[in-house]
Structures are given as C-alpha cells and as structure tokens.
Amino acid sequence: MIQRKPARWLSQALRSYAILVYAFLYLPIVVLVIFSFTRDEFGVRWTGFTLDWYIRLFNNPRLMGAAVNTLIVGVASTLVATLLGTLLALALERYRFRGRGAVDGLLYLPIVMPEIVMAVALLACSALAFDLINALTGHVLRRNLVTVTIGHIAFSISFVTVVVRASLKHFDRRLEEAAADLGANSWQIFWRITFPLILPGVIGGALLAFTLSLDDFIISLFLSGPGTSLLPVEVYNRVRRAITPEINAISTLMLLLSITLVVLSQLAQRRR
C-alpha cells in the first residue's frame, strides 16, 4: 500500500527549510544585539564585552533630545489615532450606509501606499498650506513635531481601525440586546458592555500605532523641520555615514522597545 500521509522526508525537508528561514529572519537582529556590546570601535568585530556605548548614548544630548521628541510624537499620535480609529471601526462594523465601501477603501489605502508617496504628498501639502497662511496672515510657519504627528496619525488611523474592527467582528451583538433587555440604555450598554469587551482590541491598536510611530522614519524624515530631530531620522543620518557601535546600541534599544510593544499588543488582544 502506498502511504498517503505526507512523506517523512518531505516534512523533514519542510522543517529544515523553515528553520533556515527563521534563522534568516533573526540572524541580523541577533548580530546587532551582540555587536552593541563589542569593544571594537568600528562595531563589526568581537574584541571583548563593554557597556561603554550604552553609557555614551545616554550622555549624548542630541540623541536623548531626539528620543524625547520621538516619544512625544508617539504618544500624541497614538492618542488621536486610537480615538479616531476606534470611532471609525464602530461606524464601519455597526452601520450599513451608502459610501461604506468608499470609506473602507480610503482606510486601506494608507496601509498599502508606499510610505514615500505619502511622505512627499504630505510635504507638498504642508508647503502649500504654509505658503497660503503666510500670504493670508503673514505668519511664517515651519515644519515641526506637529506636522510629523499629523502625518503619523494619518497612517496610524487605518491600522487602529483594522485591529479594533477585528475585535468588533467577534463581538456578539446579542450581548448588547441582553443588556438592553435588562434595562440598560445605550450609554450604559456602551460603557458597561461594548467598551470593556473591545478594550483589548483598542489597547492592541494603540500599542501598534505607538510602535509604528516610533519606528517610522520616512514620514519623519520628510516632515520634521530643522532642529526637531527624531530618533529614527537621527539613526538614518548616522548609518549612512558609517557603522558605529553606538548605533548598534541605540538600534538594540529600539528593537527591544518595539518587540516589547508588539508582545504587549498581542497579549492585550489575546485576553478576552
């Protein structure tokens, strides 16, 4: 008889292949972390363990300033994007209305749009708007953290909406009917039933928005003004010049932060 279960060699081969792909995905990350502790001042050779680069990092006012800016933009854009995205998710999951497809489409575009297109578009738009304001009022505006934040919100909304919608999809509408049946009005239903149950999705979406904002560098590069440097842009400007263990160190910290946030986001969404 021919054994029709997946052949042993086939599943073995698949397993080895998968292990190689995972190695490929994680090799650079591991290398980066290791070489943030090397004494080698070019950051590419292992010449002994040191924490010097991390210490130097924290004593570098420019990098620390950029880090603070990044956090400010991250928190601000996350708050706004989470609020707007959650509202949109509720509208799209709870109502049938004309133009729903168009709203859906507009929401998905920022996810698939190459970031550089969005970045130059926002740059052009802000330039035009600033010229207009200058012509009308005489005020001279410059790109700063606010313009970056606006841009980050514009792409984060979509991601928040997707995540919150997923949690609304699993939501059993009969729970709301049950609450109404037990005497709750729509306000009470929302705050006592709906919101607590979609909260994991909202938190997940917020953490994602925060991660995206921290990691983004293209929009930040185009929209931040002079003197308002952001961490990813700072890193970009340095890595274009040379590898240094200092960048290894700051990159390691950024990676750690993102991974922590993703893990938190996943945990938040899994708890039901």
Partner 1 sequence: MSDTPAIELHDVVKQFGATYAVDHVSLQVGDGEFFSLLGPSGCGKTTTLRMIAGFEYPSHGEVLIHGRAMAATPPHRRPVNTVFQSYALFPHMSVAQNVAFGLQMKGVPKHELGPRVQAALEMVRLDGFDQRRPREMSGGQQQRVALARALVNQPEVLLLDEPLGALDQKLRKEMQFELKRLQHRVGITFIFVTHDQEEALTMSDRIAVMNQGKVLQVGSPTEIYERPTCRFVADFIGETNFIEGQVVAHDGGYATIQSHDGLELRGVTPRPVSVGAHATLSLRPEKARLLTPDQAQSVQETFRLAVKVELVSYIGSDTRITVRLNAQRTLDVWEQNTRSTLDRNAYWQPGEDAVLVCPPENALVLVE
Partner 2 sequence: MRVIGMIDQIRMRRDRRNLLALLAPGMLWLLAFFALPLVIILLYSILTNGPRGAIVWQPTLENYRTLFTQTIYVNAYLRSIRISLETTLICLLLGYPLALFIVRQPAHWRTLLIFLVLIPFWTNFLVRIYAWQIILANNGLINGGLTALGLTPLALLNTEGATLLGLVYGELPFMVLPLYAALARFDFTQLEAAADLGANRWQAFWRVMVPQTMPGIVAGSVLVFIPTLGQFVVAELLGGAKVDYLGNLIQRLFLRSNPINWPLGSALAVIMMVILLALIFWYFRVTREDER
Q: What does 260 interact with, of partner 1, partner 2, none (CB < 5 to 8 A by kind)? A: none
How many whole angstroms separate alpha carbon 186 and alpha carbon 161?
22
Cβ 101 to partner 1 shortest distance, Å: 20
Which is closer to partner 2, CB of 44 or CB of 75? 44
Cα 31 from chain centre: 23
**Which residues in the 151-210 window bind partner 1 by CB under 8 A?**
172, 174-175, 177-185, 188, 192-193, 196-197
Which is closer to partner 1, CB of 25 or CB of 172? 172
Q: What does 272 interact with, of partner 2, partner 1, none (CB < 5 to 8 A by kind)? A: partner 1
Cβ 269 to partner 1 shortest distance, Å: 15
Q: What does 178 interact with, of partner 1, partner 2, none (CB < 5 to 8 A by kind)? A: partner 1
Which is closer to partner 1, CB of 138 or CB of 183? 183
How many whole angstroms separate alpha carbon 40 and alpha carbon 197?
51
Q: What does 141 interact with, of partner 1, partner 2, none (CB < 5 to 8 A by kind)? A: none
Centre a 10 Å sphere on the Cβ of residue 235 and count the other Cβ atoms it contains.
Answer: 17
Q: What does 174 interact with, of partner 1, partner 2, none (CB < 5 to 8 A by kind)? A: partner 1
Cβ 97 to partner 1 shortest distance, Å: 17
How many whole angstroms separate alpha carbon 113 and alpha carbon 74?
21
Nearest 5°: CA angle at 119, between 115 and 121?
120
Cβ 87 to partner 2 shortest distance, Å: 5
Which is closer to partner 1, CB of 15 or CB of 192? 192
Which is closer to partner 1, CB of 201 or CB of 232? 201
Which is closer to partner 1, CB of 121 or CB of 180? 180
**What distance, in Å, lies between the first and last C-alpha atoms of the chain?**
47
How many whole angstroms separate alpha carbon 96 and alpha carbon 101?
10
How many whole angstroms separate alpha carbon 119 and alpha carbon 113?
10
Q: Amino acid letter at 231?
A: L
3-class state of residue 38 by DSSP: strand
The residues near 237 (Cβ < 8 Å, ≥ 6 apart) are none
Q: What does 128 interact with, of partner 2, partner 1, none (CB < 5 to 8 A by kind)? A: partner 2
How many whole angstroms separate alpha carbon 157 and alpha carbon 205?
9
